[in-house]
Amino acid sequence: MERFITHTGTVAPLYRPNIDTDQIIPKQFLKRIERSGYGEFLFYDWRYHSDGEPIPEFVLNDPRYSAASILVAGPNFGCGSSREHAPWSLLDHGFRAVIAPSFADIFHNNSLKNGLLPVILPDATVAELVRRTETDPAFELTVDLERQEVRSQDHLFGRFEIDPFRKHCILNALDDIALTLEHVGRINDYENNVEMRPRYSFLSN
């Protein structure tokens, strides 16, 4: 998990409602056990024809947005089946944050656990970001987690809410394993003293 404090990057607009996890990363690409290597399959059915040729009209195939690291999407982003591969594929492609009016709960939680920042802003603000990005593909945004705000060089677009515990985790690159390892001393003490604790039997004599 990569630490997220402040990120500045160009923006890819994908303003569609109800983008589900099977569109983000189709099920046929879920056979890998690593967290890496999913970026090339991100939005596969929208990016490629059935013969594997790229669809030029799709935003990620547009050279103007090829280096985008912030995705602006429509409401209810990440709906559908629970699939941790969805944030993995977005991260592997190079996105650090997704801005949308709303997110599906499971996708939202999976993203926070993996260091992809889901940012909720009002629908009108998201629409304005899409307009700015489509007008100027070089348009850059800064997503500032410490201040909880989204801004460009000349404008503050808004502040966003985030659970304080999850904010602490992303600021310090703490995934579930890292959080557990913070208590490794107490875990070792418990394991070392296991033989000293009384044993109880639930079998009757």
- The residue ranges of every structural domain in the chain are 6-174
Picking from 131, 132, 59, 53, the residue whose alpha carbon sits closest to that of residue 95 is 59
DSSP-derived pairing of the beta strands 117-120 and 70-73: unpaired
The confidence score (pLDDT) of residue 203 equals 53
Are the beta carbons of 152 and 130 closer than 8 angstroms?
no
Amino acid, res. 33: I
| HSE-CB of 156 using CA atoms within 13 angstroms | 7
**pLDDT for 184 beyond 50:** yes
Instruction: Answer whether residue 147 shows pLDDT above 50.
Output: yes
Write down the pLDDT at residue 205.
47
**CATH number, span 6-174:** 3.20.19.10
Lowest-confidence segment of 29-43, 64-78, 134-148 by average pLDDT: 29-43
Q: What is the mean pLDDT of the chain?
A: 90
The band of 16, judged by pLDDT with boundaries at 50, 70 and 90, is: very high
Query: 43 in helix, strand or coil?
Result: coil
How many angstroms separate the CA atoms of 44 and 54, rounded? 9
Q: Does residue 82 or residue 161 have the better pLDDT?
A: 161
